[in-house]
A and B are shown apart, each in its own frame.
Chain A
Amino acid sequence: MSTSREQIMGRVQAALAPLPQRAARPDWDRDLVILRQAHGLTDPWPLFAERLKAVNGTPLTSVTELVALLGKNNWKHGYCDPALWPQLSGAFPSGFTVETTYDRTRVDDYAFGLTAAAGAIAETGTLILTDNGTSSRLGALAPWVHIAVLHRNQIHHDIPSAVAALPADPNIIWVTGPSKTADVEGILIEGVHGPGRQVALLVD
């Protein structure tokens, strides 16, 4: 029996055999795709914060600000990466319930999820999450608010640099703002399946 694999490979070879020559792979200059503002940055955080705001994300520089934001909106029940909780718990007053194991049977209970960012991209306001660096895929996704904890030295200036630094990890996610759709009459609505509020928390 000729398998699908053999059939496909045979057909591909037969289709390409008559070509007098094959198209070469073009070389291209990485500067071509880099945003003007991302050239010659010293500190990438200000550009990152500006670009994140441009996609309706929320850049924060202190845990106190974060706690104020959560408290003001009555987002009191959340999930936190067990590795991060010891350093953050001190800033959370009583009244907050924070779990360090995400229970998928109670998906509606969590208003926020706190996990570690593996990096960021300044020119696009993008947060980078990895599978090895994220304590729970669901904890970073299902709550209304996601907070990614980020260090300044993790921020790439531009997309080509971030691509060049893609780690060996089975599931890397570039997150550029809150989950959104414009399927209904082209009107922008945030928070479809993922977070309606995307926060980047800088800890130095």
Chain B
Amino acid sequence: MATQLIDQFAKNLAPDTKAAVYDGSKKGHEKRTQLLFDTYADPNRLREIAGEIKQHVIENLDTYLPAVEAKLQANGVKVHWAATGDDACAAVRDIMQARGLRKIVKAKTMVSEEIELEHYLNKHGIETLETDLGEFIVQIDHDHPSHIVKPIIHKNRREIAQSFEREGLGAYNDDPATITARARQFLRHKYLAADVALTGANFVSVESGRLVIVTNEGNSRFCLAATKCHIALVGIEKLVPNDRDLGLLLNLLGRSATAQQLTVYTEFVSGPKSATQPDGPEEMHVIFVDNGRTDVLASDCRDILRCIRCGACLNVCPVYRQASGHAYRSVYPGPVGAVLSPLLAGKKFPEFADLPKASSLCGACHEVCPVNIPIPDLLLRLREKGKREGAPLAAAGTPPMGAWAVLASQPAAWKVALFGGKILNFLPTNLIPVPALRAWEAKRTLPEWRGGEFRAWFKNRPKP
């Protein structure tokens, strides 16, 4: 019986990393709970409404997508569509090559990770630089983010100081304030030398065409102050019907992600800079990306498209806390990743078919989700899909049930087996040469086999 990949990963995780991830996620969860319940009498009501808003959006994308396109165009934004990740990468390249632009500064976008944009652009002679401190460290280390909002939760300050020294950002110093100051000094000159600001969007209001981009560090602001061209990569599920609903969702996003009332910078961007403004993009492009989302929409797991990428489900998940984000082998870790990654993988579903099993179904992720996604239900649906499609990874860590299935589907065979099972009462079961059984028997005693008694009672019971 093979163990699950995620169990193997958790077992091999360095103790330092495990401690960092465990402490970081636990602290994040506790602060979130405290803030939400201090502020609101009934925070759960907010989560329910937010979930209904997002569910409404994804079930009406056929009207909202053309509507937001028209609004954005009216605001002076060029709208592009990308059915696949490759299409999205090509769209960024085309915009840049047509204008002779070569240098990108990136504020965090999960979609760019998903479509492996950096790799693609570098191959085509375009430089990309991550500007979020955590993402910047991930980039210089050729690593991968391990958390949706805390990308380097798995690293400690000593490792970061070594990376900075290696990259020529100053002599070894592991004081977080010094690390941050050095990044500030290095990156501000990079912003000013760049051609293009690449961002994602947390929400897009259909009513106004405003993209909402939130950061704590101010890197999206700097990207949008220093460069002349803004390209935003936006998943098609990011829409919100109107500005008013943003008032609710923004309250939940900051609290759920980092236990803040509001993230430090909430930017509402609806087009190129105004005529009187000396700084900022003269051109703005929005690329709407599908890359598997319409398949999710067609599935019985479409609720996951409500996700606003806050990371609260990671922080609370007992499996994430032990295994860390890299164990999920994909861009989206934790409970949301266990649902989203196999779905977005499309034909590669079998490669991620074990992820829905990386859960004890305790339900904590559902309880904290700001858009109330029933993650445990979706995990069960995906487990079933894995079984139905016979994905070998879906079976990892499961005892073989083939013989039981044959018996359970044939009443005659079942009856014989129930009766025949009595033979177990006379067998020296503690001598059976199966290590797992012997280990089990060493601590426990098998109850007496009483197969068939219920059937006999049922058949002979007094009938009304």
Contact = CB atoms under 8 A, between A and B. Distances in A.
Does B bind A?
yes
Contacts of A180: 216-217, 264
B364 interface: no
A136 B39 CA distance: 36
Interface string A163-193: 1101001111111111111111111010111
Given A124-B262, A134-B277, A185-B176, A12 B61 contact: yes
A184 B160 contact: yes
Contact of A193 (B59, B184, B244, B276): B184
Interface string A2-26: 0111011101111110010011111
Q: Which of A25, A32, A181 has the most CB of B within 10 A?
A: A181
Interface residues of A, number: 71
A84 interface: no
B130 to A, nearest CB: 12
B250 A159 contact: yes
A12 B65 contact: yes
Nearest to B178: A189
Nearest to B188: A107
A141 B81 contact: no
Contact of A181 (B56, B217, B261, B297): B217
Nearest to A28: B49
Contacts of B236: 8, 12
Nearest to A126: B262
B217 A179 contact: yes
Contacts of B187: 193
Given A174-B265, A183-B137, A8 B270 contact: no
B265 A131 contact: no
Interface string B277-316: 1111000000010100011011000100000000000000
A5 B280 CA distance: 28
Given A7-B83, A175-B264, A33 B251 contact: yes
Nearest to A130: B274
Interface in B39-64: 39-40, 42, 45-46, 49, 52-53, 55-56, 59-62
Given A170-B270, A184-B179, A192-B183, A22 B262 contact: no
Q: Which of A24, A169, A194 has the most CB of B within 10 A?
A: A194
Interface in A111-139: 123-124, 126, 131-132, 134-138
A66 interface: no
A72 interface: no
B221 A189 contact: no
A166 B39 CA distance: 24
A69 B23 CA distance: 38
A144 B75 CA distance: 33
Contact of B267 (A11, A171, A183): A171
Contact of A171 (B179, B181, B268): B268
A100 B160 CA distance: 39
A171 B20 contact: no
Given A173-B266, A193-B221, A182 B258 contact: yes
A19 B290 CA distance: 20
Contact of A23 (B59, B150, B278): B59
Contacts of B189: 107
Given A14-B298, A185-B176, A25 B263 contact: no
Contacts of A51: 261
A12 to B, nearest CB: 5
B222 A131 contact: no
A176 B260 CA distance: 10
Interface of B: 20, 23-24, 27-28, 39-40, 42, 45-46, 49, 52-53, 55-56, 59-62, 65-66, 75, 80-84, 87, 131-134, 137, 150-153, 156-157, 160, 176-177, 179-181, 183-184, 187-189, 191-192, 208, 210, 216-219, 221-222, 224-226, 236, 241, 243-244, 246-248, 250-251, 258, 260-274, 276-280, 288, 290, 294-295, 297-298, 302
The 7 closest A-B pairs by CB, nearest first: A194-B218, A11-B294, A15-B298, A137-B225, A183-B134, A192-B217, A137-B279
26 contacts: A5-B81, A8-B236, A8-B294, A9-B62, A12-B236, A23-B55, A26-B52, A32-B248, A51-B261, A55-B264, A104-B279, A160-B247, A163-B247, A166-B208, A171-B269, A179-B216, A181-B134, A182-B216, A186-B28, A191-B181, A192-B180, A193-B188, A193-B191, A193-B218, A194-B218, A195-B218
